[in-house]
Amino acid sequence: MNSIYQYFRAIWYGFSSLWKGMMLTGHYLVHPKKILTQQYPENRDTLYIPERFQGEVVLPHDENNEHLCTGCTICEMNCPNGSIKIITRSVETPEGKKKKELDEWVYHLGLCTFCGQCIDACPQNAIKMDNSFEHSVYDRKLLTKVLNQPGSKLKSAKK
Amino acid sequence: MQLSISLLEITRAIDSWLNSVFHPHLAYGIELVLAGVAVILLVVAMAILMVYAERKLAGFMQLRLGPMRVGKWGTMQAVADVMKLLLKECLTPTNSDKLMFRVAPFVVTIVSFMTLVPIAFAKGIQLWDINIGVFYITAVSSLSVIGILMAGWSSNNKYSLLGAMRSGAQIVSYELSGGLALIVVVMMSGTLSISGIVQAQADGWWIIKGHIPVIIAFVTFVITSTAELNRAPFDLAEAESELTAGYHTEYSGMQFAMFFLSEYTNMFVLSMVAATVFLGGWMPFHIAGLDGLNHFMDYIPGIVWFFGKTFFILFLIVWFRWTFPRLRIDQLLKLEWKYLLPVSIINVLFAAFIALMGWYL
Amino acid sequence: METNDIKHDEFVINVGPQHPSTHGVLRLELWLDGEEIIDSKPHLGYIHRGIEKMSEALGYKQFIYLTSRMDYLSAHINNQACSLAIEKGLQIEAPARAQVIRVLMAELTRLASHQLWWGALGLDLGAVSPFFYAFREREMILEIFEETCGSRLTMNYITPGGVVNDLHPDFVRKVKVLIEQLKGNLHEYYQLLTGNVIFQARTRGVGILSAEDAVSLGCTGPVARASGVKCDVRKLHPYDGYDKVEFKEVLNDKGDNFARYWLRIEEMKQSIYIIEQLIDNIPEGSYREKLKGIVKLPAGEYYQRVETARGELGVYLVSDGKKEPYRVRFRTPNFSNLNALRPMMKGAKIGDMVSMMATLDLIIPDIDR
């Protein structure tokens, strides 16, 4: 008798658990407001990208086209896989001394792992991570960027 | 003034026009071709609609939107899929049994189209009102096992063979319970022909008239239909996450499209059978005594009722697929032989008793 | 067993490197007799990237980013292990605020990892819908990470000395919203999978791993705890303030698939409990102890063990005084957990193989490094 009771109990348990599962998916079927996905390229205006998102390294310039990078190459030494190449040149100061300054800040976006070690290591806080994320290009050469804008120079220290 | 359109009048009008223009035998031949083409077109259109509907329903159940890009709200998605499958190359593996490999998809598709013959879409709209309608459908649909085993064997692939074997065992076992579920209604109606069963539901659908045994038979029939169609939760034969795609692993392009089409056609046919046998076919919903309601229900044409009920059962089958995990093969067979079959047999005895006593609602 | 000594009725199937349910690139050779599995042999190395060798050429602060990619679902915890090992070498301790932030991040990572495991388990067993429900809360956790740490999967946030940035001002509020939503949605996990009769039939009594087998194979984490072995590193060798929080070490003694499943769901609840205790009591203060530009560890060997979402991760650093480590060796939990497949699979069916691999929760890049 007990086995017959167990038999019917198993059938009842099976149906009730399946019914509960179906009720859950049915609930989400009739509540389309709870849909999570977004239609990406059409919703660019309302996208929220946090400002700390590590998108790419940029060298911020202020309104006089000046930046803070002195060409010390500490970021290049700290980068784990060689995505940064700092090219410096020697210039003569008005006092006649030879000084090193930044010529080109070459950034290989294709190699970068977005680890942030360069930002962490820079003693002048010259670079930061921008939160842009649409980096796809059709030509690989566009992935090697020069970060300092033409004609920019180092911001002179306030005395 | 009769507001509802009767398809029967339209077909009779076409028939009399054809007979007046052509020789009677030629008119008969043209009618045969027209009817066959109409049904096939209908089913193919329904398959395409079902593909889109399933993907959209699946999307909504899973908190996402489903296809949205191809056409407005993704309506052209199925058309795009058909074009893609048409343009793909139909590969045949080198060491496969070439004749069987190429014939297998056709076998499966032809069998699923053959089951469309006795189905009554509306009053009088039936390809062939054979007097063994229900028996014909169950007999012909079991031929699809041959096509599946041919596909699995001729692929010369261990995975396909395993999948085909499992699928064959599954389909053959579940036909038993499905047949017994149909027998319940056949006993109560007293006839095997489809039009006879629909006529017997003129004063109420069987699921309401024959109460407990028919409800049990209905539930059993829906479960066995999902098993016969190799759909989840019984889709071990084509389980993508276990053995790639089972018996149709090696097929690509249009051959794969034929398996796909035949699966949707079968789904459609079995839903139509369930709608006819249990839910009243094209009979409107009548409640004895409420004449106003009955009169209003009569205005809705029979074909709309029929398709409404079919879509309801299709919706149930789609709902099952996206909610439940898969059963293992031995659990599948255990479900059938230990649970569904004994319950179906006892149900048949119970239904016979009720039919004898005439204890309908 | 080699392919040459195959008997008459058996055949060998290759569950190849590309397979939807091996959770990575793992090649399994299975000897089958009809539907039953007689033996199995895993082949590894498809995603070996040489992390340990690469670390010998990078500085102590630089090689940490590679470890995020080992067990990418517990990225914070991997970074925490390396940072603690380096701090052991330098004999410094992170400030109290940094320790609490590290614990919070680790528990959030554990939650996210278990949720993805739950979704992938449903997917392997044939239920497609749980995958999407699991990602609903995981998405919230990843957005919290994105706001504070800057990335969603491979955050390099935990560093020797503390953490890189302070918490975002919105962190506490968002975590509280997440906890409320997660607690409210836990019943859905029950409705959809746990209570489902089909799921229970597929996981109960299948894939039993005894406690002796678990200990002798070196399994740790939920796999061993489901067989009754007490091995939670957070309780046995507490680090980073885990001895100050209250939580239960969840144990089960059945050792089958369902036990492992149930244990991870319970661990999710314990993680929520830990987060609730800490979220309102984050101490003020500095979040980072700045290290010198080039870190040099004194010569010697340093070992640190942590509890990732999958088991015990051990970081073994050998230093000879230079600015690069001499040898870095990772004792990964998945390498030992993979060995548990062989005794579990004898006599099981193919359908069980999938559910066993799903409940073992393997991440193959962690095995190959």
CA–CA gap between residue B223 and residue B225 (Å, rounded): 5
Give A45-78 pLDDT, tens digit per residue: 888 888 888 888 888 888 878 888 888 888 888 8
Contacts for A139 with CB less than 8 Å, ≥ 6 apart: none
Beta carbons of A37 and B322 less than 8 Å apart: no
pLDDT recorded at residue A59: 87
Nearest Cα to Cα of residue B111 among B276, B313, B259, B314 = B259
C228 interfaces chain A, CB cutoff of 8 Å: no
Give the pLDDT band of residue B95 (cuts 50, 70, 90). confident
Cβ-nearest to C61 among A24, A114, A117: A117
Alpha carbon distances (Å) from C282 to B202, B239, C76:
73, 48, 18
pLDDT in tens, C38-80: 888 888 888 898 888 988 888 888 888 888 888 888 899 999 9
Q: Which amino acid is present at B214?
A: V
Asked if residues C352 and C16 have their Cβ atoms less than 8 Å apart, the reply is no
Cβ distance C163 to C102 under 8 Å? yes
Please tell me the number of Cα atoms within 13 Å of C200 on its side-chain side. Answer: 12
Task: Give me the percent of chain B exceeding a pLDDT of 90.
Answer: 5
Minimal Cα–Cα distance from A82 to chain C, Å? Answer: 11
The residue type of C252 is N
List helix spans (H) across C218-349.
Answer: 222-225, 233-236, 257-279, 333-339, 341-345
Q: Which residues contact A94 (CB under 8 A, 6 or more apart)?
A: none
Residue B3: band (very low, low, confident or very high) from pLDDT cuts 50, 70, 90: very low
- Residue C8 has a pLDDT of 64
Q: Is any Cβ of chain C less than 8 angstroms from the Cβ of B242? A: yes
Cβ pair C46, C266 in contact under 8 A: no
Q: Residue C163 is inside which H or E element, if any?
A: strand C162-163
Quick one: which of B247, B225, B179, B238 has its CA closest to B320? B225
- Per-residue confidence (pLDDT) for residue B220, from 0 to 100: 92
The angle formed by the CA atoms of residues B335, B165 and B145, to the nearest 5 degrees, is 85
pLDDT at site B19: 79
Q: What is the ipTM of this complex?
A: 0.84
What is the per-residue pLDDT for A69?
A: 83
Angle, CA of A148, A152 and A157, to the nearest 5°: 110
pLDDT value at B36 more than 90: no
Give CA separation, C360 vs B194, C64, C114, in Å: 53, 26, 12
In whole angstroms, what is the distance from residue B52 CA to residue B75 CA?
A: 7
Q: Contact, C103 vs C306, CB < 8 A? A: no
Is A29 in the B-facing interface, judged by CB distances under 8 Å? yes
Query: Across residues B175-186, what is the average pLDDT?
Result: 89
B279 Cβ neighbours under 8 A, 6+ residues apart: B205, B206, B207, B309, B312, B313
Note the pLDDT of residue B118.
Answer: 87
- Please, which pLDDT band fits residue A26 given cuts at 50, 70 and 90? confident
Q: Which residues in chain A are contacts of B62 at CB distance < 8 A?
A: 28
Nearest to B61 among A11, A18, A25 (CB): A25
* A80 to chain C, closest Cα gap in Å: 6
Chain C contact present for B4, CB below 8 A: no
pLDDT for position B346? 92
Asked if the model's pLDDT at residue B180 lies above 70, the reply is yes
- Residue B63 to residue C352, Cβ atoms within 8 A: no
pLDDT of residue B91 exceeding 50: yes
Inter-chain touch C201–B323, beta carbons under 8 Å: no
Q: How far is CA C69 from CA B58, B260, C64, C65, in A?
A: 33, 40, 10, 7
Pairwise CB contact (< 8 Å): A21 & C191: yes
Tokens 């959809």 locate to C192
Please count the residue pairs, one from chain A and one from chain B, whose beta carbons lie less than 8 angstroms apart. Answer: 37
Pairs of CB atoms within 8 A across A/C? 68
Domains of chain C in start order, with CATH, are 49-368 (1.10.645.10)
What tens digit of pLDDT does each residue of B296-342 get? 777 777 788 888 899 999 999 988 888 888 888 788 888 889 888 99
Residue C29: Cβ-neighbour burial (10 angstroms; 0-12, 13-18, 19+): middle
Question: Per-residue pLDDT tens for B53-73?
Answer: 889 888 888 888 888 888 888
Q: Which residue of B has its CA nearest to C132?
A: B62
Q: What is the pLDDT of residue B243?
A: 56
Phi, psi of B267 (to 5 degrees): -60, -45
Per-residue pLDDT averaged across B247-258, rounded? 80
**What is d(CA C144, CA C155) in angstroms, rounded to the nearest whole number?**
12
Please check the confidence at residue B291 and state whether its pLDDT lies above 60.
Answer: yes
Q: Does B323 touch chain C (CB under 8 A)?
A: yes
The verdict on C277 touching B (C-beta cutoff 8 Å) is no
For chain C, which residues score pLDDT lower than 70?
1-9, 20-22
Q: What mean pLDDT, rounded, does chain A reach?
A: 83
- What radius of gyration do chain C's Cα atoms show? 21
Q: How far is the C-alpha of C57 from the C-alpha of A56, rounded, in Å?
A: 25
Least confident range from A140-149, B13-22, B188-197, B234-243: namely: B234-243
Closest CA to C63 of A83, A79, A75: A79
CB C16 within 8 A of CB C25: no
Whether residue A35 and residue B320 make contact (CB cut-off 8 A), yes or no, is no
Query: Chains with ≥3 Cβ pairs under 8 A against B?
Result: A, C
Q: Chain A, 127-156: which have a CB under 8 Å from a chain C CB? A: 129
> How many Å lie between the alpha carbon of A147 and the closest alpha carbon of chain B?
37
Residue pair C77/C306 in contact by the 8 Å Cβ criterion: yes
Restricting to A residues 73-92, those with a Cβ less than 8 Å away from any Cβ of C are 74, 78, 80
Q: Give the gap in angstroms from C-alpha A113 to the nearest C-alpha of chain B.
A: 31
Name the nearest CA neighbour of C105 among C80, C71, C128, C136: C80
pLDDT tens-digit profile of B258-285?
888 888 888 888 899 999 888 888 888 7
Band of the pLDDT at A159, cuts 50, 70, 90?
very low
The whole-number pLDDT of residue B245 equals 58
**Distance in angstroms (rounded) separating the CA atoms of residues B103 and B261:** 15
Q: Is the pLDDT of residue B345 over 90?
A: yes
Do B131 and B192 contact (CB within 8 A), yes or no?
yes
**DSSP three-state, residue A69:** coil
Please, which residues have CB within 8 angstroms of residue B83's CB and are 6 or more apart in sequence? none
Contact B324 C196 (CB under 8 A): yes
Give Dmax (Cα) for chain C.
71
Distance, in Å, from the CA atom of C193 to the CA atom of C199, rounded to the nearest integer, reads: 6
Q: Are C352 and C205 in contact (CB under 8 A)?
A: no
**Contact flag B325-C127 (C-beta cutoff 8 Å):** yes
Which residue's entry shows tokens 């690069």? C324
Highest mean predicted confidence (pLDDT) among A30-44, B30-44, B240-254, C323-337: C323-337
Alpha-carbon span B165 to B247, nearest angstrom? 9
- Predicted pLDDT of residue B244: 53
The two three-digit tokens of residue B359, written as one number = 């204890």
pLDDT in tens, A91-134: 777 777 777 888 888 889 888 888 888 888 888 888 888 888 88
Test C129 with B322 for CB contact under 8 angstroms: yes
Contact indicator for B65, B232 with CB cutoff of 8 Å: no
| Whole-number Å distance between alpha carbons of C312 and C74 | 12
What is the spatial distance between Cα C268 and Cα C270, in angstroms, rounded to a whole number? 5
Cβ-defined contact of A20 to C150 (cutoff 8 Å): no
C17 in reach of chain B (CB within 8 A): no
